[in-house]
């Protein structure tokens, strides 16, 4: 019986970054709290991470103020965002680490011929800096960030761009993510999506609309195999 994982040549696996590949919450929240304290506010607790992380630095500010029952104007956001970027850049990999099993799973998929890309709403410069600091850039054939194009996920354009940059085919691509921007982009692009239950999910993982939900990177290969086999079973893919 043919093992779909024996040969993944021609397949593109695109990955979200924050909450998917890397647990960045400690450094993101740490940077946010520096700004909140500077503004005379109490720091946000780690228990609020799912409500705060996953919607960009702008979204973090707005949500943090809302959780404190305060409002922040767009003008104030525009003023504070460069400061939070500055603080975050200085500690980008101080506590952030790849999720357990991530590096081994990526190496295995590459060894099987898959082309790997990052498709994140994090600004591309910060995404590259983080991956460089963690010695992960070498694992990817393309990196598309939140400012690489004029639009971000859930618009499908960044995902389609990531696939195109590795020379891939939309019909042989899978997105791996943890939140609604990921599943939204995948649906819009007509690409299956694997949801990681341990990320910064903004909805219960089963309700995000992914094609598979996994609880650990050890389960990624099996989920990829299922989706590849399903694709190959379709008449149009034969």
Q: Is residue 136 part of a domain?
A: yes
Provide the mean pLDDT of the chain.
93
User: Is-catalytic flag, 16?
Assistant: yes
69 pLDDT tier (thresholds 50, 70, 90):
very high
Distances (CA, A) of 24 to 6, 13, 50, 94, 144: 32, 21, 12, 9, 18
- Look at residue 202 and tell me whether its pLDDT is greater than 70: yes
Tokens of 74: 């767009």
- Look at residue 40 and tell me whether its pLDDT is greater than 60: yes
pLDDT tens by residue, 158-171: 999 999 999 999 99
Tokens of 225: 């195999």
Q: Which of 237, 175, 176, 211 is nearest to 22 (CA)?
A: 176
Q: What is the mean predicted confidence (pLDDT) over 216-238?
A: 83
- Look at residue 1 and tell me whether its pLDDT is greater than 50: no
User: How many structural domains compose the chain?
Assistant: 2
238 pLDDT tier (thresholds 50, 70, 90):
very low
Q: What is the mean predicted confidence (pLDDT) over 182-211?
A: 95
Same domain, 65 and 137: no
Query: Could you give the 3-state DSSP secondary structure of residue 24?
Result: coil
For 115-124, 142-151, 159-168, 228-237, which range has the lowest pLDDT when averaged over its residues? Answer: 228-237
Q: Is residue 4 part of a domain?
A: no
CB 81 within 8 A of CB 232: no
Q: How many CB atoms lie within 10 A of CB 145?
A: 20
Please give the pLDDT value at position 68.
Answer: 93
Which residues partner with 146 through β-bridges? none
Q: Is residue 131 part of a domain?
A: yes
Please give the pLDDT value at position 57.
Answer: 84
Same domain, 125 and 231: yes
Q: Is residue 29 part of a domain?
A: yes
pLDDT tens by residue, 129-142: 999 999 999 999 99
Cβ within 8 Å of residue 75, ≥6 positions away: none
pLDDT tens by residue, 147-160: 999 999 999 999 99
Distance CA 4, CA 151 (A): 34
pLDDT tens by residue, 188-199: 999 999 999 999
Q: Is residue 7 part of a domain?
A: no
Catalytic residue among 16, 18, 27, 211: 16
Cβ within 8 Å of residue 131, ≥6 positions away: 17, 118, 137, 140, 143
235 pLDDT tier (thresholds 50, 70, 90):
low
- Look at residue 33 and tell me whether its pLDDT is greater than 50: yes
Please give the pLDDT value at position 129.
Answer: 98
Please give the pLDDT value at position 155.
Answer: 97
User: Residue 80's domain is classified under what CATH number?
Assistant: 1.10.150
Range of the domain at 33: 25-90
Q: What is the mean predicted confidence (pLDDT) over 97-102?
A: 98
CB 150 within 8 A of CB 193: no
């Amino acid at each position: 019986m043919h093992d779909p994982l024996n040969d993944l040549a021609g397949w593109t696996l695109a990955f979200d970054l924050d909450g998917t590949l890397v647990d960045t919450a400690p450094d993101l929240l740490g940077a946010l709290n520096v700004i909140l304290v500077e503004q005379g506010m109490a720091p946000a607790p780690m228990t609020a991470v799912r409500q705060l992380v996953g919607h960009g630095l702008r979204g973090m500010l707005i949500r943090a103020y809302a959780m404190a029952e305060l409002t922040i104007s767009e003008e104030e956001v525009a003023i504070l965002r460069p400061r939070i970027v500055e603080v975050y850049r200085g500690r980008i990999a101080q506590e952030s680490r790849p999720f357990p099993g991530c590096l081994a799973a990526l190496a295995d998929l590459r060894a099987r011929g898959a082309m790997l890309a990052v498709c994140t709403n994090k600004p591309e410069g910060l995404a590259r800096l983080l991956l460089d600091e963690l010695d992960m850039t070498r694992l990817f054939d393309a990196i598309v960030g939140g400012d690489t194009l004029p639009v971000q996920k859930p618009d499908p354009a960044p995902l389609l761009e990531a696939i195109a940059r590795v020379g891939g085919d939309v019909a042989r691509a899978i997105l791996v993510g943890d939140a609604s921007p990921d599943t939204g982009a995948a649906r819009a692009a007509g690409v299956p999506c694997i949801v990681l239950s341990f990320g910064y999910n903004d909805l219960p993982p089963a309700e995000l609309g992914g094609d598979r939900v996994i609880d650990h990177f050890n389960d990624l290969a099996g989920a990829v195999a299922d989706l590849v086999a399903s694709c190959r079973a379709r008449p149009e893919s034969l």
